[in-house]
Amino acid sequence: MELTDGDLIARVLVDDDQHAFGELVRRHQSSVRGLLRQLTRTDVAIADDLAQETFLRAYKNIRSFRGEARFSTWLYRIAYNCFRENARRRKEFVGIDEEQLQSEHDPQVADPALRHDLMYALSLLSLHERSAILLCCQNGLSHEEAARVLDIPLGTVKTNVLRGREKLKRSLAAWGPD
């Protein structure tokens, strides 16, 4: 019988069982790396570094996980914090901010082959809309869970999901079928 996340976490807590933690990493690496790749706009190297940082922090702080939320939700929260800290550092040291990144993805200058890509449409959304859409629509979190992950009010999450969906629909409709 396959062990649940809760069983594996108990093994990590009681025996400091790193194999059990390895199983948790194996189970959740795809969704965490996928989320970070979307947040960093498919910068795979940075996203994977942040994913490693996410799991290291999760291991060091696993005693603070009390099982009130799903383990994956807790991981998304750590991942989002890692992403925000990295974005802040980049802004401070390199001077890259969200607006600049936005302009780098101008649909007028982008590869036309990417125009019909839903993920590309997603990358055109603002960071807050993109985060809300990724968590709620792609990863299946409730609005309440997303609000906890993003540390913003519930109403703001709902607004961002609504706006994000509208923009995605508009982008896809404007590009039209081949």
Partner 1 sequence: MDEKQQEDSLDRQLREAAPYIDDEGFTARVLQQLPPPRRGRDSLRAVILLGITLLASALAYVLSDGGRFLVVAMARLTALPTLWLLALAFGSGFFFMAGGVVVALSKASEPRP
Which residues contact partner 1 by CB under 8 A? 15-16, 18, 21-22, 25-26, 29-30, 33-34, 37-38, 48, 51-52, 55-61, 64-66, 68-69, 74, 77-78, 81, 117-119, 122, 133, 137-138, 140, 151, 165, 168-169
Q: How far is the CB of 148 from partner 1 (least distance, A)?
A: 8
Q: How far is the CB of 100 from partner 1 (least distance, A)?
A: 25
Q: How far is the CB of 138 from partner 1 (least distance, A)?
A: 4
Nearest to 83 by CA among 67, 98, 71: 98
Q: Pick between residue 100 and residue 110 the one whose CB is nearest to partner 1.
A: 110
Q: Pick between residue 140 and residue 155 the one whose CB is nearest to partner 1.
A: 140
Q: Pick between residue 45 and residue 94 the one whose CB is nearest to partner 1.
A: 45
Backbone angles phi, psi at 106, to 5 degrees: -65, 125
Q: Pick between residue 57 and residue 90 the one whose CB is nearest to partner 1.
A: 57
Q: Pick between residue 51 and residue 157 the one whose CB is nearest to partner 1.
A: 51
What distance in Å separates the CA atoms of residue 41 and residue 62, rounded to the nearest whole number?
29
Q: How far is the CB of 33 from partner 1 (least distance, A)?
A: 5
- H helix runs in 105-153, sequence order: 118-123, 127-133, 143-150
The three-class DSSP label of residue 40 is: coil
Q: How far is the CB of 140 from partner 1 (least distance, A)?
A: 8
What distance in Å separates the CA atoms of residue 63 and residue 111, rounded to the nearest whole number?
46
What distance in Å separates the CA atoms of residue 164 and residue 129, rounded to the nearest whole number?
5
Burial (0-12, 13-18, 19+ Cβ within 10 Å), 28 = buried
Q: How far is the CB of 63 from partner 1 (least distance, A)?
A: 9
What distance in Å separates the CA atoms of residue 156 and residue 128, rounded to the nearest whole number?
9
Q: Pick between residue 85 and residue 97 the one whose CB is nearest to partner 1.
A: 85
